[in-house]
Amino acid sequence: MLRALNIRDFVIVDRMDLEFASGFTVLTGETGAGKSILIDALAMVLGERGDAGIVRQGAEKSEISAEFETAALKSLQSWLTDNELAGDDGACLVRRVIDSGGRSRAFINGRTVTLAQLREAGEHLVDIHGQHEHQSLLRAAAQRALLDAYAGLGAAASAVATAWRRWQGIRQQLTALETNAAAFAAEREQLVWQVRELDTLKFNPDEWQELLAEHARLAHAQSLIEGAQYAMDALSDGDNSSLTQLAAVSSRLDHLLEYDARLKEIIDVIASAQAQAQESVYMLRDYQQRLDLDPQRLKEVEQRLDAVHTSARKYRVTPETLPDALARARDRLAELGGSADVETVRKREAEAHEVYLAAARELSAGRRKAAKRLAEKVTAAMQTLAMAGGSFEAALNPLAEGNSSGLEQIEFLVSAHNGIAPRPLAKVASGGELSRISLAIQAVTNEIAQVPTLIFDEVDAGIGGRIAEIVGRMLKKLGSKHQVMCVTHLPQVAASADQQWQVTKTADGGKVLSHVTVLDDKQRVEEIARMLGGVKMTETTRRHAAEMLGTQEQAK
């Protein structure tokens, strides 16, 4: 729901900070006071196109920001995350700035976004009924989604979309095969040969490292043997070896130990060096005995290395990535259908098409039943909203091949009065009629509506008396499930609200400014009395206003 709206220098508003409540709120005031300006500001911050004309005269820029509570809007949270626009948990802040030159900037949770992104986020947040730009019900996708949700067909619609994507994928594969059959056959033959050759090589990166180490050892075996022998000679076996000299040093110092006991520590270190040198000799002897001059094994290792290098050069990869080359060849072979021919893929395409048609026909049947129920209920609601003889229809217009949404396009058609042919909802000329038709639809489908905030402008155009009371009750009922706001001139509608705001216009220093006051109970009586009695208010109109409010309180 909408928590707050902050407006700076917008048309005739210099500064306005509003906090919103749940339930049903009405905006009332004299004609021209600027009631619809608040709706226009909200539409602007949700992505409506604007120009320099909306900047208050004398100001450098107009700035509007709105804060929404979004904890229950999982689809919006996913969209924000996908677009790297997520903010604080359970909240979304949108902001729009338009300067006096007409340049516009938009932000979601502090990050710069396009107007298209701003509008897309707004579609999850607010529905404005009464002006075409922001009414989701005018979009074909929203009409289809509403009918499916009303019918409980969400899972069926998802299954159809999945079946469609699978069918189209195989269909594209078939088209490609039929168009490039010869080229694909040649590519497939080459891939089969490549996979067979790399499979035969049976290469893995671990073996490669072992081969390199073994080759280095075998290729330099003679040098290794000679090196080990040289080390043993120097340490032990040769004339004047290290061990002989260490023994001589140790013996000489032992004779001197009786003259200076401090030599004991040095003698111990030399003894340790003798022990370590002797251990080195044992290890070298064992190492030398294990070394072999094995020309045959060296030849085998070199042949294996050569085979691996040859394959790597052939496929233009490093030896370590040969398994990746094999995986890519297998994947591409799978894309081409392996050994499958055109007829095999054609059969798969036909089977996938039948699966899609079966799911789509089941979805269509559910939609037809729901469309009839929805039409009857919305038509009945229209009769109570000054549209006697009017009708509503959810038409299912067939599509030649269908699409991911099914075998038909959903289109809401309305006739506002008897004798008028049904027309698409988007072509209803009267803002008041469009708003009341939207109210009828929302009243029927309020349990499944996804957008949390509903705003009605012009809903009371051309109605009054009993019809106005009905409109008020409908809006109040919607307010029990959603946040509802309505601009109204009718006291019957205003009296139904949970909250009432008064919009006034003042002239200050030659500047015309708009202000909003949240009315308490006493102020509501005065405002509704004004709406009832016009310029001159009497005690009678005040009593009538209080009675209307009292009646509404009792109706709660």
Output the DSSP codes for 405-419.
TEEEEEEEEEESSTT
> Based on the domain organization, do 12 and 149 belong to the same domain?
yes
Report, as an integer, the average pLDDT of 106-119: 93
Domain match, 283 and 220 both: yes
- Same-domain check for residues 323 and 453: no
> Of the candidates 333, 367, 382, which is a domain's last residue?
333
Name residue 28's amino acid. Answer: T
CB distance 322 to 315 below 8 Å = yes
Is residue 286 domain-shared with residue 362, that is, in the same domain? no
Q: Could you tell me if residue 121 is inside a domain?
A: yes
**Is residue 419 located within the same domain as residue 320?**
no
- Which structural domain, as residue segments, surrounds residue 301? 202-333
Other beta carbons within 10 Å of 429: 8
Segment 521-529 mean pLDDT = 90
Q: What is the pLDDT of residues 154-184, one digit of tens each?
A: 899 999 999 999 999 999 988 887 777 677 7
Residue 274 lies in a domain: yes
Residues 367 and 470 in one domain: yes
Instruction: Choose one of 299, 333, 367: the last residue of a domain.
Output: 333
Q: Is 218 inside a domain boundary?
A: yes
CA distances from 93 to 6, 8, 80, 372 (A): 11, 16, 11, 40
pLDDT value at 552 more than 90:
no
CATH number at residue 35: 3.40.50.300
Average pLDDT, the chain: 84
Count: domains in the chain: 2
Please give the residue that has the higher pLDDT: either 236 or 410. Answer: 410
Q: Give a yes or no: residue 164 inside a domain.
A: no
User: Residue 407 pLDDT > 60, yes or no?
Assistant: yes
- What is the C-alpha separation between 353 and 271, in angstroms, rounded? 88
Confidence of residue 4 (pLDDT cuts 50, 70, 90): very high
- What confidence tier does 349 reach under pLDDT thresholds 50, 70, 90? very high
| Contacts with 433 (C-beta within 8 Å, 6 or more apart), sequence order | 387, 416, 461, 462
If asked whether residues 303 and 395 sit together in one domain, one would say no
Answer yes or no: do 148 and 241 share one domain. no
DSSP 48: -
**Residue 407: C-alpha distances to residues 144, 358, 364, 368, 399 (Å):** 12, 11, 7, 12, 5
Residue 534 lies in a domain: no
309 and 379 share a domain?
no
Closest CA to 14 of 522, 536, 516, 547: 516
Q: Is residue 539 part of a domain?
A: no
**How are strands ordered across the β-sheet holding 406-415?**
391-403, 406-415, 423-424
Confirm whether 127 is domain-assigned.
yes
Same domain, 133 and 218: no
Are 514 and 372 found together in one domain?
Answer: yes
- 321 with 366, same domain? no
Predicted local distance difference test score (pLDDT) of residue 535: 64
Angle value at C-alpha 426, between 365 and 452, nearest 5 degrees: 75
- Which of 285, 300, 333 is at the close of a domain? 333
Backbone angles phi, psi at 309, to 5 degrees: -60, -40
| pLDDT per residue as tens digits for the range 270-322 | 888 888 888 888 887 776 766 665 566 667 767 777 787 888 888 888 888 88
Residue 465 lies in a domain: yes
